[in-house]
Structure 1
Amino acid sequence: MGNTVFASQLMNYLAIVTFATALYSASAAADSFRCQNDLVYLGDSKAAVLQKCGEPLVKDAFCETRPAQTTSTTQGSTVVNVATCENVDEWTYNPGSGKFMTTLRFESGKLANIKLGDRAK
């Protein structure tokens, strides 16, 4: 009976370790992207990504609105609300059949996010 309890506890422990390892691996994958024989990392420039990965399948560029900044003066009631805009580029790569389509998001010219999409066909 003691061996059965031990085996059950061991199985639970292994399941927890496997789950924790999978979570760690998923979060680590979001910090880099493998293209061809190289890796790109968060913080890399667009030029560095182009050099390592080549041209993406799709390039999107847009201006993302940021929260308005309010400025007021002490001499009167002048209030200025300025909505700012940040240039964002999103490049989508197809790493090959069965692998995940990957979108690289650039903010201020630097790689800010790596997002996995559907599996490529």
Structure 2
Amino acid sequence: MRGFLAVIALLITTSAMADAMRCGSRLIREGDTQTAVRDLCGDPSDVLSRSILRRPTYFVGGREYYFGDAMVEVPVEIWTYNLGPYKLMRRIRFVDGLVEEIETLGYGYRPPATD
């Protein structure tokens, strides 16, 4: 039974860690702004920009409420951080300027030499 509880605790800890990214001694989490991420982590290796359509929303007391049925265009940016061949790359998805998702990718690579 103890072994089972230890495995459950490990899974819970691992899933909670997937929602954050460490830059130096600071932690980037869901809800952080693009400016905060750039200030703490520097410029990303790659940026992909697009937009999505969704209903207007606002938050009151931590709950999300929809406002009307019309769709609005919301900017989405996906930043990729290549941290080198000995560290895992990270992908951060921003929706409307806020971190929505942080994903861990495979090992990074050495950037091509520029002459």
Same fold (TM over 0.5): yes
The aligned length equals 96
User: In the alignment, which of 30, 44, 52 is matched to residue 40 of structure 2?
Assistant: 52
Correspondence list, 1:8-19, <5 A: 13-19=1-7
In the alignment, is residue 101 of structure 1 matched against residue 96 of structure 2? no
- Residue 16 of structure 1 aligns with an amino acid whose one-letter code is F
> Could you tell me whether the CA contact under 8 Å between 1:57 and 1:94 is conserved in 2?
yes
- Residue 45 of structure 2 aligns with an amino acid whose one-letter code is L
Q: Report deviation, 1:110.
A: 0.8
Residue matched to 2:108: 120
- Residue 52 of structure 1 aligns with an amino acid whose one-letter code is L
Distance in 2, matches of 1:14 and 1:92, equals 39
> Could you tell me whether the CA contact under 8 Å between 1:101 and 1:116 is conserved in 2?
yes
Q: Report deviation, 1:55.
A: 0.4
Correspondence list, 1:28-107, <5 A: 28-66=16-54, 84-107=72-95
Distance in 2, matches of 1:45 and 1:16, equals 38
> Which protein shows a greater Rg?
1
RMSD: 2.1
Gap runs ≥5 in structure 2: 56-68, 110-115
Q: CA offsets per residue over residues 13-70 of structure 1, 9 Å max, x none?
A: 2431232122112221123110123211211110010000000111111012447xxx
Distance in 2, matches of 1:36 and 1:96, equals 15
Residue matched to 1:75: none
Residues 97-106 or 50-59, more deviating: 97-106
In the alignment, is residue 24 of structure 1 matched against residue 4 of structure 2? no
- Residue 39 of structure 1 aligns with an amino acid whose one-letter code is L
Where does structure 1 differ by over 4 angstroms across 4 or more consecutive aligned residues?
A: none
More helix by share: 1
Q: Report deviation, 1:82.
A: 5.8
